[in-house]
Structure 1
Amino acid sequence: MELGSRPEEPGRAFLVGSYVFGVIAGFVLGLYGVVLVASGPRPGGTLISVGLLLALIGNTGVALLVRWLTGTRLGAMIPLIGWIPIVLALAASRTEGDLLLKATVTGYLFLAVGVLAPVVVAVIGRARRGLTALPPVMERPRVPSR
């Protein structure tokens, strides 16, 4: 590979598959995360929420994976398209009064961490392709000094 040349771009079908994977993974993480927010070990009476850990590790991991697959900053945000609607739907109370995501510190932390993890992944680092990618660095010819 020559200096300053870019690696070959992935095909359109691969990118579409990567984005669809990100949406589905975000949906699954949101569904399991809401259900598992209230469960987990309680050492010393303090809850270590499995759902909160899933939001932190899962949302970060999927955002990193989709960003790596697509090479764009948008790729890191795609899991939120599946995550946010299912979490908000399960957090809304029904007419019977049933509620899965309660207004507790753990519930609010789950929402904040779940949304901020992909945002942090999108902001940190440089994109390989897309509108936010920097052009490849080209080496300047050296001018002999006198």
Structure 2
Amino acid sequence: MTPTGKQQSALAQPLVLPSPKRVAAYLGLLVLGAATGVAGALVQGGLFPGGLLLALAGAAGLYVGGALATGTRAGAIAPAVGWMIAVVLLTASRPEGDFVFGAGIGSYLFLIGGMALTVICATLAPGRQTGGPDARLGK
């Protein structure tokens, strides 16, 4: 609240650091996202398109679950960052010539679909609420 009694916007409020429990939750979601990325990379190639759909559904479930568990958009973004790191590291070829992703439509759908799910889930996740009256409803 300002000295005049008006509610400040969310952008004008001071930065509040997250609690240690919340930081631990985000780190746990980051690790779960990496595990989901590795598991999805291994599953997406099997029984096309069932493995691909299972891998993408697992990632989407983790993103939505993280957002609902923490109540913030960062709860969806933390596992997405872990997923992205794991998948990018798995796309690199090794000196022996081995690789996890083949050059097929399923691999590309997994990569592009996972990124699209990241954007969708992070956008639709609940944002920070100011606790003030609803401006659009005039309450």
TM category (shorter chain) comes to 0.7 to 0.9
Query: Does structure 1 conserve the Cα–Cα contact (< 8 Å) formed by 2:76 and 2:125?
Result: no
**Is the 1:29–1:54 Cα contact (8 Å) retained in structure 2?**
no
CA distance in structure 2 between the partners assigned to 1:107 and 1:77 by the alignment = 22
Does the 8 Å CA contact 2:43/2:55 hold for their aligned counterparts?
no
1:25 alignment counterpart: 32
8 A Cα contact 1:18 1:69, kept in partner:
no
What percent of counterpart residues are identical?
A: 32
CA RMSD of aligned residues (A): 2.3
Residues 33-58 of structure 1: CA deviation (Å, up to 9, x unaligned): 11122212xxxxxx2241x2233211
Shift of 1:140: 6.4
Q: CA deviation at 1:98?
A: 0.9
Instruction: Give 1:28 deviation, angstroms.
Output: 0.6
SS in 2 for 1:112: helix
Specify the alignment match of 2:42 in structure 1. Answer: 35
Distance 1:36 1:137 in 2: 47
Gap change, CA 1:55 and 1:113, over 3 Å in 2 = farther
**Structure 1 residue 13, shift from structure 2 partner:** 2.9
Conserved in 1, the CA contact under 8 Å of 2:29 and 2:66? yes
Closer, same or farther: CA 72–92 of 1 in aligned 2, 3 Å: same
Shift of 1:120: 0.4
Gaps of 5+ in 2: 1-17
The unaligned stretches of length 5 or more in structure 1 are 1-10, 41-46, 142-146
- One-letter code aligned to 1:34: A
Aligned partners of 1:111, 1:84: CA distance in 2, in Å? 9
Measured against aligned partners, the alpha-carbon deviations of 1:12-34 in whole angstroms (never above 9, x if no partner) come to 13311220121011111111111
Larger CA Rg, structure 1 vs 2: 1
